[in-house]
Homo-oligomer: A and B are copies of this chain.
Amino acid sequence: MLDAAALPIVQIVHQPGVIDLGWGHPDPALLPVAGLRDAAGAALDRYGAAALAYGNQQGPGPLLRWLIGHIGAREGRAPAADEIIVTGGISHALDQVCTLLTRPGDPVLVEQPTYHLAVRILREHPLDLVAVPSDAGGLRPEAVADTIAALRREGRTLRFLYTVPTFNNPTGVSLSAERRRALIAVAVAAGLTIVEDDAYRELAYDGPAPSSLWSLAPTGTVIRLGSFAKAVAPGLRLGFLTADAATVERIRGGGVLDSGGGINHFTANTVAALCEDGGFAAQGDRLRAAYRARRDALAAALMNYLPPDCAWTLPTGGFFIWVRLPEGRDAAALLPRAFAAGVGYAPGQRFHLDGGGGRCMRLAFGLYSKADLTEAARRLGRVLGAG
């Protein structure tokens, strides 16, 4: 029986003695507590009761204006005022896209491996998921084209493709500029909508993030889901969506927003004040410096401690290093042994629709110190070496 006194504040559950790289969470010590304290006060001073009333369905004007400017400056393409809407974070935005823009049973493409919890949301609607294999460079545009053609032969029309092209979850890989162009060409030719999960864009460690598919594609091809979860704090549950005006209008005019006003309005005003006052930029600089150092620490430790027949690619952003184990190993089967040795990870099976991916594991480097990451790699090396 659940004890009310023990109900926690946060989602994460720590196992004593385990450095669990399975959690794709930020380090609480990096969250901007003081900045958001100031911002909440500033929002209520600046916008007054408007920050607490039923909000504009599209999101509060100040946050939309800041986002339009920020996106324009970062990506070289600013959404028009009717091409952006504030969301309750990517998970919630994806949920709304499914409710309002799909019909039950519609086929939807997902890359494989893919973000496992997006799969949960898609299936709940219920959509019929079709996996497209990717390689070391991420999603293969020709594989997308082949899958579309195969479904067409069965008389089925795809609703959309869900993909994380930048600092992918789980692989950390970003699509090359060439693949981005080719993927967009395939989508345009097939009339396919791409739902671009762009959660990690602000966490670019080696120069600017690749251009978003949204910024590269003709209007109407891409619905891009952005987020403040990784760039500011996940507990805000705040993000945004850029797309063509008709798609934005469909979401703006949906029942949930019409009934309740803008999603998460008080928080959206708080984040508007934070952004207006320079807090977004400052927090981004702080996070990039911290996570870059952690990525480097984990990568160096993997090089030191993992058996030489393990392989991985250094991600240029995001939270994850995707490790491929030698033939014959099974990440899910190894996990109990790893936990016993004081290290955790997310086994590759979790990110595959078909139970495959067992030779891979996702290591997240956001939550732990460099020393902990080094120790985690040492423990993992022992578990793998003891094969």
> A181 an interface residue at 8 Å Cβ cutoff?
no
A11 touches which of B55, B64, B92 (Cβ 8 Å): B55
Inter-subunit contact A9/B236 (CB<8 Å):
no
CB pair B237–A81 under 8 Å, yes or no, is no
CA A53 to CA B12, docked complex, whole Å: 9
Whether A237 and B260, one on each chain, are in contact in the complex, defined by CB atoms closer than 8 angstroms, is yes
- Given A81-B3, A255-B95, A264-B267: A8 and B124 interface contact (C-beta under 8 Å): no
- Is A10's CB under 8 angstroms from B260's CB? no
On chain B, the residues within 8 Å of A28 by CB distance are: 48-50, 52-53
Which of A95, A104, A270 is most buried by chain B, counting CB atoms within 10 A of its CB? A95
Establish whether residues A25 and B53, one from each chain, have CB atoms under 8 Å apart when the complex forms: yes
Give the contacts of A198-237 with B (CB-CB under 8 A).
229, 233-237
Within 8 A of B (CB), among A5-40: 5-12, 25-26, 28-29, 31-34, 36-37, 40
- Name the segment of A113-121, A304-312, A335-343, A354-362 touching the other chain: A113-121
Q: Which of B33, B54, B58, B259 contacts A44 (CB 8 A)?
A: B33
Report yes or no: B41 in contact with A4, Cβ–Cβ below 8 A: no
Report the separation of the CA atoms of residues A66 and B207 in the bound assembly, to the nearest whole angstrom.
47
Q: Which of chain B's residues has its CB closest to A239's CB?
A: B260
Is the pair A234, B53 in contact by a Cβ cutoff of 8 Å?
yes
Contact across chains for B258 and A237 when beta carbons are under 8 A apart: no
Cβ contacts under 8 Å, A95 to chain B: 99, 255-256
CA A369 to CA B92, docked complex, whole Å:
37
Is A386 in contact with chain B by the CB < 8 A criterion? no
Within 8 Å of chain B (Cβ to Cβ): is A62?
Answer: yes
Quick one: closest B residue to A125, CB to CB? B99
List residues of chain A with CB under 8 Å of any chain B CB: 1-12, 25-26, 28-29, 31-34, 36-37, 40-41, 44-45, 47-58, 60-62, 64-65, 68, 80-82, 88-92, 95, 99-100, 103-104, 117-126, 229, 233-237, 254-256, 258-267, 269-270
